[in-house]
Chains A and B, each alone.
Chain A
C-alpha cells in the first residue's frame, strides 16, 4: 500500500552518501508543507532543527564517520515524549509553555542512531482517547480519508507515517494507542513487552500500562526501530534488566512449525469486514505452515472493565502534579485551593477530567476493594489465562480494531462506544505482553484493516515472524 521509501533504504543510501540526509529531510518537509494543514498530524514541526541535524549527519558521513542504523531517517515523536528545550504538550493546555529540561531515553537513543526529528505529533490529550479528537489543539485527520479519524491516541504519529511526513514515528500505547491508529491508518504499529523500552521521559498516563513503540511503513522497519530503542535503562525501575532479543533474523523465518492461536471466546463486536480479514489471516498462516489452534481466554472479556478502573486510577495520581505550582499553565486565584481548581478546571479537557474523576473514585476509601482491588484481580486472572493459552500456542492473532477508520464525531458523544475501540488491544497492556498491528486487507471504502499479533513477554521475535508472514501474504508493504 505504502508508496513511501522505507527507513532501511533511507539509512542505507544516506550512510553510503548515495543521497544526503538534507535531501531526504527536505522531501519529507515538502510533503508536510503540502498536506499538514489538511491532516494536522503535528503540534510542532521542527523544520529548522531537522535541517540542521540532517546537515550535521551529512558532514559526519562526509568525514567518514559511522552515523548509525537510522542515519538521516526522519522520525516524528508523539508529543508526550520529552524533548530537551522543545515544547512538549501532551496536546493539553495545562502544559502550555513548558519545555522539558531533558530528553526521553528513547529520544536520545534514536538521536544516537542518526535519526532526524521532524516534529512533535498530535494526540488525544494525555493519550486518553481513540480518535485524536480529544486534543486541545484540534483533531488529526486520517490521511487516507480526511473525513475520518486516524485513531488514537497516537493519531498524529500514525498519520505522519501514513502521509509520508516521516519515515517512522514513535507513539505510546496504554490500551491500544499505537495498534489501533496503526490499523486505521494502514501502517505497522508495535506495543513492545512492558519494560522492553524505557518509559523515562514519557509523560505518564497509566504507568503500569504505558509503553513506547514504533509506527512504520513495514514490519522490517518496525524491527529496526524497536531494536534501536529497546534495552535496559537504569533510569526506569520497571525496565527489564536483560538485553532485548534481535529481531532481524525473525523477519524471514516464516511461520512453518509455529502454533498460532485463535481465541474462540474473543468478545464479539468487530465489524464483518474486520472478522473476514482475520479469518483470512489464519488461512494464510496455515498455508505458510503454521498450525492454527483454538484456545480460550475467558478473562479477555473483562479486560475493558478492568482497564477502565486501573488506567484512570493511575492517571488520577499521575496527573495530580499538574497543579499550577511549578510548571505549565496557572490560573491565579485568591488562595491555593482555588488556584488548583481554576488551573486544573481550565487546563484539562473533558475526557481527562472524566478519567481523573473515575480514577479518584475507584481509589477512594470504601470503594478501593470493590473497584481498583477487583480490577487487579482481573489482571492476575488475565495473566493466568494467557499463560495457559501460551502452553499450547506460540502467538495469537485477533483484530486490532473492531472497525476501520470511523467518521469524525461518530463516537464523541458516547464515551463508552469510544472505549470499545480498545476491546482487543487492552489485554496485552494489562499483562505486559507485546502485540502489534499489521495492515492486512481492506474493508469499507477500501480503508485498511489491521490484524493484531500477540506473543508472550519478550516474545517479539515470534511476533515479528508472524507479522512479517502476514505482510508478505497481504502483498507486502515493501517498496
Chain B
C-alpha cells in the first residue's frame, strides 16, 4: 500500500533524509565583493577570490551569515559559534580545488520542521558554504564523459549556500514533498533565498534506505539530480522500490551515489563508496572562527517575520476555515494572506474574500494590484445582496484587469444595478407567460422545472437578476 499517508512495500518502509542546498539572496558573494546574480553573461561576476587566484584571500560576507542565521532560527535550530573548513577535491569548476564549507562546527544545529498532520522532521544542521562554478560540456551527451570540451562559468563560484540536512525522519514521498514545499515557503518568507529548483537556487539530494519497521537503518543511497518537487517524490519511490526488490532477491544494498534520470524514471549508479573522494576536511586557516554572539542572534530572531505555519493558523482564524484547507494553503503559499487579512479588516465577508483571492489572484504576487479597500467594497456589495455572484465575479475580473477601481461605479457602468422586487416580479410574470408548461410542472412539484423559469428571467434581465431572489419569488408564488 502506498498513498500520501503511508508507504510500505512488501513489508518494508522507506527511510529518507534530505540535503537541501539553497543559494542565499545576498548582494555579493560569500567571500568577495562580486555580485551574486543569476543569468548574467558568463564570467562577468568574477574577481581574484572567485577564480581562486594565487594570493587571493576570503573575507566573510556578513549579510550571508545573517541570512543563514535566519534560516537556522526559522528552523528552530541552535545558532552557535562556528568554524569554516576546507573540503578538498579536484574539479574544473571548483576554482581553488577546495570548497570552503563548515564541517565539525556548523552555524546552525538541532532544529526541526513541522509538516502536515503534526509530523516533525528533524533538522540536523544548516551550514554555510560556497557554491562552485558551472561547467557546460560541449558535444557528446552533455555530460563530461565523452564530451569534446567544457566551458566554465565562474559567476556562480563563491555564491553563498546554506546546506540544510534533515534527519532521516521522512517515511513517504509525500512527506518529502511537504518538507521541501514547507522549507521553500519558509525560505521565501524570511527572504533568505528565491529557492527556485528549476534555476538551481534550491537543490535537493535524497538519502534513501529501506527497512522493516522497527529494525536498524539499512544501507543508504544518495540520489542526485532531482530537479523538481514532483521528481523528488518519484525518485524516492523508485529508489525505495529498487532497494526492496534487490533485498527481496537476496541482494545487498551498496552505499553509493545515484543519478535520477527524469527521462526513464530510474536512478543509476554515479559512483560507489570506493570511488568516493576523501575530502580531507581541515580548518580553513584563511578564516577566523565566527561567533555571532547572543546580541546578534537575538536581533535576527526578533526580526524574523511570521512563518508560513503561523500564517496559516492566523488566516484560518480570520476566515473561519480549516488551517489544512486548500484555500488557506494556496493563499499562504502565494503570500497573499496579509492582503486577505487587510481586506477582511476593512469590510468583513472573510469567507468570500478568501475564495476571491484564491480564485482570481493566482497571477498576482504577495501584493495584489487591487487595493484592499476596493476588494472589500466589492465583497460588501456581494454580501449585501447588491450584486449576484456572477456579477461579483465579473467585477472582480475587471478589478484585477484594471488594477483596482470603485466597484459601485464599475457596477453602474456594467449596468449591474440591483433590481427592486417589482421589476423582478415583472420578469417572473413574463417567464410564467412564456413557459406555462414549466410553471405547471413546477407547481406540480417538479423542482427541475424551476431552472427553465429562472433561465427565462436571467435571459430577459441580461443576467442582472439575482438568482436567489428569483427562486424566492417563484417559491412564494407557488405557495
Contacts and interface: CB of A to CB of B under 8 A. Distances in A.
B285 A314 contact: yes
> How big is chain B's contact interface, by range?
20 to 34
B53 A323 contact: no
Contacts of B144: 336
B88 interface: yes
B98 interface: yes
Interface string B90-128: 101001111000000000000000000000000000000
A127 B450 CA distance: 97
B43 to A, nearest CB: 10
Contacts of B95: 321, 325-326
Given A82-B55, A237-B60, A237-B287, A321 B96 contact: yes
A337 B90 CA distance: 9
Contacts of A363: 88, 280-282
Interface in A359-389: 360, 363-365, 368, 372
Interface of A: 81-82, 88, 90, 95, 98, 100-102, 104, 199-204, 206-208, 234-238, 313-314, 316-317, 320-321, 323, 325-327, 336-337, 340, 360, 363-365, 368, 372
Contact of A237 (B54, B58, B280, B281): B58
Nearest to B97: A320
A234 B57 CA distance: 10
A363 B86 CA distance: 11
B88 A327 contact: no
Interface string B270-293: 000000001011100111100000
Given A102-B48, A207-B285, A364 B55 contact: no
Given A202-B55, A235-B57, A101 B48 contact: yes
B282 A320 contact: no
Contacts of A201: 55
Contacts of B55: 81-82, 88, 100, 102, 104, 200-204
Given A100-B53, A201-B55, A325-B152, A317 B280 contact: yes
15 contacts: A82-B55, A101-B48, A200-B56, A208-B285, A237-B57, A313-B282, A317-B98, A320-B96, A321-B96, A325-B92, A336-B150, A340-B90, A360-B280, A363-B282, A365-B278
B88 to A, nearest CB: 5
Interface string B51-66: 1111111111000000
B90 A237 contact: no
A326 B52 contact: yes
Interface in B257-279: 278
Given A95-B54, A320-B88, A237 B97 contact: no
B278 A206 contact: no
A368 B88 CA distance: 14
Interface of B: 48, 51-60, 86, 88, 90, 92, 95-98, 144, 150, 152, 278, 280-282, 285-288
Given A102-B55, A200-B55, A235-B59, 19 more contacts: A98-B54, A100-B48, A100-B53, A101-B48, A102-B48, A200-B57, A204-B54, A204-B55, A206-B285, A207-B285, A235-B57, A238-B287, A321-B52, A323-B97, A327-B53, A327-B54, A336-B92, A336-B150, A360-B280
Contact of A326 (B51, B59, B86, B90): B51
| Residue from B53, B59, B92 having most chain A Cβ neighbours under 10 A | B53
Nearest to B135: A336
A364 B287 contact: no
Smallest CB-CB A-B distances: 9 pairs: A320-B97, A208-B285, A363-B280, A207-B285, A203-B54, A82-B55, A201-B55, A321-B52, A321-B96
B154 to A, nearest CB: 8
A332 to B, nearest CB: 12
Identify whether the interface residues of B are mostly helix, strand, loop, or mixed.
loop
Contacts of B281: 363
Contacts of B48: 100-102
Contact of B59 (A208, A237, A316): A237
A323 B53 CA distance: 11
A323 B152 CA distance: 14
B301 to A, nearest CB: 26
B275 to A, nearest CB: 12
Contacts of B92: 323, 325, 336
A315 B282 CA distance: 12
B58 A320 contact: no
A2 B51 CA distance: 44
| Residue from B55, B92, B96, B285 having most chain A Cβ neighbours under 10 A | B55
Contacts of B152: 325
A238 B88 contact: no
Nearest to B145: A335
A200 B47 CA distance: 14
Contacts of A327: 51, 53-54
A316 B52 CA distance: 15
B286 A101 contact: no
A202 B53 CA distance: 11
A372 B281 CA distance: 11
Given A102-B48, A104-B55, A320 B90 contact: yes
Contact of B288 (A101, A238, A326): A238
Contacts of A237: 57-60, 286-288
A75 B293 CA distance: 44
A82 B48 CA distance: 12
A89 to B, nearest CB: 10
B286 A364 contact: no
Nearest to B286: A207
A428 to B, nearest CB: 16
Contact of A321 (B54, B57, B280): B54
Contacts of A360: 280
A171 to B, nearest CB: 15
Nearest to B91: A336
A219 to B, nearest CB: 29
A372 B282 contact: yes
B92 to A, nearest CB: 5
Contacts of B59: 234-237
A314 B48 CA distance: 20
Contacts of B286: 204, 207, 237-238
| Residue from A104, A206, A323 having most chain B Cβ neighbours under 10 A | A323
Contacts of B285: 206-208, 238, 314
A323 B91 CA distance: 9
A82 B56 CA distance: 9
A300 to B, nearest CB: 22
